[in-house]
Structure 1
Amino acid sequence: MIRSHATTPIEGQKPGTSGLRKKVRVFAQPNYAENFIQSVFDVAERAPGAALVIGGDGRYHNRTVIQQAIRMAAANGYGRVLAGQGGILSTPAASHVIRKHGASGGLILSASHNPGGPDEDFGIKYNVANGGPAPEGVTDAIYARTQTIDRWLAVEASDVDLDTPGTTQVGDMAVEVIDPVADYAALMEKLFDFDGIRRAVAGGLTMAFDAMHAVTGPYAHEILENRLGFAPGTVRNGTPLEDFGGHHPDPNLVHAKALHETMMGPDAPDFGAASDGDGDRNLIIGKGIFVTPSDSLAMLAANAHLAPGYAGGLKGIARSMPTSAAADRVAEALGIPAFETPTGWKFFGNLLDAGMATICGEESAGTGSDHVREKDGLWAVLLWLNVLAATGKSVRTIAHEHWQRFGRNYYARHDYEGVDAEAAQAVMDGLSERLAALPGTRVGDLTVGRAENFAYTDPVDGSISRNQGLIVAFERGSRLVLRLSGTGTEGATIRLYLERFEPTDGNLAGDTTTMLSDLVSAAEELAHIAALTGRTAPDVVT
């Protein structure tokens, strides 16, 4: 029986670049999750009896919301739900399941790399039929509906057994609990030379993978250890936990410190990697060398032809605006287009669907290709393994040979987290007001060549996205980028991006901190972060 539950709009349910993210205590309020999910169902395009994919990263409150979403889907005319066993589906795996099974869309329950637990973060993201995040037109419609909603619908039904694969009936709807790993692992076997990687492993290739007690643990155990033959114990922290073991599941050098220390030690394995809460980000470290996400994108693009799935070449490379221009130089050498988009994977979706790009990446440790419509942490790890196996070279050698061919973009991101929202906006407003007057001025030993508030015109549909970040570009290839992040749940996060280009005849082996020191000084002189926020140093440097 379908029941209609009276409700009223709840403020603050505007989805960001990665859906709606709030504290668990907010989502646990009566009608909060239900209002948002019903708003999704009210505006989502679908045929009668359509399929819906539901899964998440295993964080606290996932199972509760999944059960309610299933009851609501049955009341809203869906004919079939595919749910990951245990409520588990990594974000890239969910994208693939949507595409493979012809679903009309999917609910991904995750706050990505944010911490989990009763007092931490939760999130819901809606992905559309192409497997990618809902475009702005859809998220705007969802938000508009949350402002007028007066009821949500659900059938009266018991909880589904999420831990046992199989099909059950909820109202008139079939609920199929599926192996969350199987479809994804099969896709990876098609893209990469698993036989070649297995031979390299048998020949002595070693690695360490930190799943951070997040969603990629089951995927990594199956693919890396069971299918590729890496030794048991290669996957660390491989059991998903509701609070991620009390850690922050963000694969950067702060939160994956233990992995970094292993890779910088005397007995380091050949290759190190980590992924985040929902499995769409990656950290790449070789023996004694950290590879920035921007460089990883460029190096993977330059070597992608070594993997069977990309042997025919790339159609184009896309990167988010704050990501370094290293990938642009690869695109130029390959004679293919390079696209610069706003931050947010949904902006890559049109390029991928139109066949204009094959590989995409963001400086925030997200890399992927046209195999799904999300960034994909394990995909990047497997492409690196394919390159290592095919070349027989170390990560360090691949990196240095890349810089010798293309030049090096020294790069860092400074995150100021939990900043007072008004102070953060004052930083942005102050620099924005100065942009027009900056070209031609000197800041220390640097000369400003260009300054702008980045706007993007989509080459596929002509849509325009404005106010995507402030750019101060200096002569000879250095630049600063400043933007506010939309991925946190409290306060504001200021992200400052620093980039310096060294040509092939320049200093390719310098210390990153030293090479960027003049840009750090220029950023303070131009943006006054310390003066306006009281923060004298970033919380996280990547």
Structure 2
Amino acid sequence: MTASATTPQVRHISLASPFQDQKPGTSGLRRPTPVFQQPHYLESFLEAVLQTLPGVQGGTLVVGGDGRYGNRRAIDVILRMACAHGVGRVVTTTDGILSTPAASHLIRTSPGCIGGIILSASHNPGGEEEDFGVKVNGANGGPATETLSDAIHQATLALQGYAVVEAAAIPLDRPGHHQLGAMTVEVVDGVADFVALMQQLFDFDQLRDFLGSGFPITFDALHAVTGPYARRIFEDLLGLPVGTVRHGVPLEDFGGGHPDPNLTYAKPLADALLQGDEFCFGAACDGDGDRNMILGRRCFVNPSDSLAVITAHATRVKGYRNGLAGVARSMPTSAAVDVVAERLAIPCHETPTGWKFFGTLLDAGRITVCGEESFGTGSDHVREKDGLWAVLFWLSILAAERCSVATLMGRHWSAYGRHYYSRHDYEGVEQTAAAELYGALRNQLPTLAGHALAGDRIGQADEFSYTDPV
């Protein structure tokens, strides 16, 4: 254990004026890295968090990130500010590497934990000129509620200064305990607890047997946070060849790539599966480990179908053999899972975009599995979407069915039908023009149903609204 020689002195830094651009989005505050490097910018947002998050005095806080540029500096700032605010204990990880789903699990299993601060801009590029982010999670391990996010934003607008202690950086190169004044800093293996959770949910003996029977796979970590987790699982525990995990070392700039698991940014992986014959299965995860892409030989699985397949086969998987309480999807996600839920006679909820909306349903026990069209899938094991969980779920289904991805998808579509859908994002549109377009669409809604468009009849047209059933 290391300890500061004396109790660090708290410094109160005054601000000339509060920052006006620190309103958190659905996944925290994301800005270009140079913005976060402005004097007092990071500290101001953290001050608002520490003033607003319930239970800070004497509480336990989980801190970690995806390893992008600025991660280590931000952890040092958080530790010194947490000490100044009377946090009792901070749990962080070796080298500060912590995936978002692993952070959720650590929050949920750390005694007295009030929440966590996750340093990530998710699937956005990293580097000195790219993006950085700070995300706040609550005591349930899920993203900050809208109420908490609004309170943090209001605090940023009224901020006059922040508190921080002066102290040497805590070493994060190995697990251990350290003291920063009265605050304990616990550095843990950020991979071990998460891997143990996966072993509870999935039959690793079954997976080892299946993957060793002539079913070669590859996983692309995109030089992001899931590399150490994937190597521990696939190469160390499941005995797959070294090199099964591509780009497995987290880098500050993700190797110059874009850590977004889709057909564009994970093209080498996609080409290997969709054009080559070396692998039967491939997968990738994003910057902070919460998104996933699933591929089979000559077969791309879209995220909406992935959620439907996971729901349909859940009882074939170790941790879900007792069935599902219900399922939920975001509004832009296709209705493929709705058909499965109806067949299984379980509730199916349609929520707005944002994992926090799944969180209330998960906490209330109304759903077990949930997902969204933007490559996110998860369950009640944590309160975040979980990329590696989805990969292991798919491999467990294939191990149980003893078939290829393409065969499994063909069987699924034969049983439940195939759903086609499209989402279009328009960026940089002038606000007035966008409002006029939506107004015109809204006015047409009452008369659209029943009309033919390009030879197909419009079955339903409405404006989405949501009332949380909890």
TM beyond 0.5? yes
Q: Does 1:68 align with 2:77?
A: yes
**1:112 matched residue in structure 2:** 122
Distance 2:435 2:271 in 1: 36
C-alpha separation in 2, matches of 1:381 and 1:275: 9
CA contact (8 A) 2:50 2:56 kept: no
1:121-200 equivalences under 5 Å are 121-200=131-210
Greater percentage in strand: 1
CA 1:21–1:422: 2 relative to 1, 3 Å: farther
SS of match in other structure, 1:21: strand
Deviations 1:280-319 (A, max 9, x none): 0000001110010000000011111111110110000110
| Mapping for residues 291-440 of structure 1, pairs under 5 Å | 291-416=301-426, 427-440=437-450
CA separation of 1:295 and 1:14: change in aligned 2, threshold 3 A: same
Structure-2 residue corresponding to 1:224 = 234
Task: State the 1:2 CA deviation.
Answer: 1.1
2:257 pairs with 1:254: no
Secondary structure of the corresponding residue to residue 350 of structure 2: strand
- Kept in 1, the 8 Å contact 2:191–2:229? The answer is yes
What TM-score, normalized by structure 1, do the two folds share? Answer: 0.82
Pick from 4, 8, 14 the counterpart of residue 6 of structure 1.
14
The aligned counterpart of 2:42 is 33
Q: Does 1:99 align with 2:108?
A: yes
Change (3 A) 1:54 1:313: same
Alignment of 1:13-24 (within 5 A): 13-24=22-33
Q: Which amino acid aligns with 1:70?
A: L
SS of the aligned residue for 1:3 comes to strand
Identity of aligned residues (%): 57
- Which position in structure 1 is the counterpart of 2:222? 212
**Matched residues in 2 for 1:262 and 1:427: separation?**
42
Letter in 1 for 2:333: T
Task: Give the Å deviation of 1:428.
Answer: 4.2
User: Quick check: 1:292–1:411 contact (8 Å CA) kept in 2?
Assistant: no
Residue correspondences, number: 460
Taking the aligned partners of 1:410 and 1:142, their CA distance within structure 2 comes to: 39
Partner of 1:463: none
Q: Find the counterpart in structure 1 of residue 87 from structure 2.
A: 78
Q: State the secondary structure of the residue aligned to 2:394.
A: helix
SS of the residue 2:159 aligns to: coil
CA gap of 1:35–1:47, structure 2 versus 1, over 3 A, is: closer
CA deviation after TM superposition for structure 1 residue 132, in Å:
0.1
What is the CA-CA distance between 1:257 and the residue it aligns to? 0.7
Determine helix, strand or coil for the equivalent of 1:89: coil
Q: Distance in 1 between matches of 2:205 and 2:71?
A: 37
**Alignment match of 2:466 (pick from 456, 466, 473):** 456
State the Cα deviation string for residues 363-400 of structure 1 (Å, max 9, x = none).
00000000000000000000111111122111111111
Q: Which amino acid aligns with 2:69?
A: Y
Amino acid at match of 1:236: R
Q: Does 1:264 align with 2:257?
A: no
Task: Indicate if the aligned counterparts of 1:157 and 1:171 stay in contact, CA closer than 8 A.
Answer: no
Cα deviation per residue 1:248-297 (whole Å; 9 max; x = unaligned)? Answer: 11000000111111002342311110000000000000111001000000
C-alpha distance in 1 between matches for 2:430 and 2:281: 39
Runs of 4+ in 1 over 6 A off after TM superposition: none
Aligned to 2:250: 240
If asked which structure has higher relative contact order (CA below 8 Å, sep 6+), I would say 2
Q: Distance in 1 between matches of 2:447 and 2:35?
A: 44
Give the superposition deviation at 1:443: 2.9
Tell me the secondary structure at the aligned position of residue 260 of structure 1.
helix
Q: Residues 57 and 110 of structure 1 are in contact (CA less than 8 Å); yes or no, is this contact kept in structure 2?
A: yes
Distance 1:400 1:357 in 2: 27
Is residue 289 of structure 1 aligned with residue 299 of structure 2? yes
For residues 236 and 459 of structure 1, the distance between their equivalents in structure 2, rounded to whole angstroms, comes to: 42
Cα deviation for residue 436 of structure 1 reads 4.3
**Partner SS, residue 104 of structure 2:** helix
In the superposition, the TM-score normalised over structure 2's length comes to: 0.95
Question: 2-side partners of 1:61 and 1:248: how far apart?
Answer: 17
Find the residue that maps to 1:9 and give its secondary structure.
Answer: coil
Amino acid at match of 2:144: A
Report the Cα distance in structure 1 between the residues aligned to 2:41 and 2:140, rounded to whole angstroms. Answer: 27
1:259 is matched by which residue type in structure 2? L
Shift of the alpha carbon at 1:424?
5.4
AA aligned opposite 2:13: H
Q: In the superposition, relative to structure 1, how do residues 188 and 421 fare at CA in structure 2: closer, same or farther (>3 Å)? A: farther
- Offset from partner CA, 1:411-448 (integer Å, 9 cap, x none): 34444556566665665455345434533444332333
**Secondary structure in 2 aligned to 1:368?**
strand
Tell me if structure 2 keeps the 8 A contact 1:81–1:176. Answer: yes
1:309-330 CA-partner distances (Å, limit 9, x unpaired): 1011000011001001111111
Q: Which moved more, 1:155-164 or 1:244-253?
A: 155-164
Distance in 1, matches of 2:398 and 2:243, equals 21
Whether contact under 8 Å (1:155, 1:171) holds in the other structure is no
- Indicate how the Cα distance of structure 1 residues 433 and 66 shifts in structure 2: closer, same or farther if over 3 A, else same: farther
Which residue identity lines up with residue 4 of structure 1 in the other structure? H
Report the RMSD for the aligned CA atoms in angstroms.
Answer: 1.6
* Higher mean displacement: 377-386 or 144-153: 144-153
Structure 1 240/385 Cα, relative in aligned 2: closer, same or farther at 3 Å? same
CA distance in 2, matches of 1:219, 1:2: 37
Match of 1:456, SS state, is coil
Q: Is the CA contact (8 Å cut-off) linking 1:83 and 1:175 kept in structure 2?
A: yes
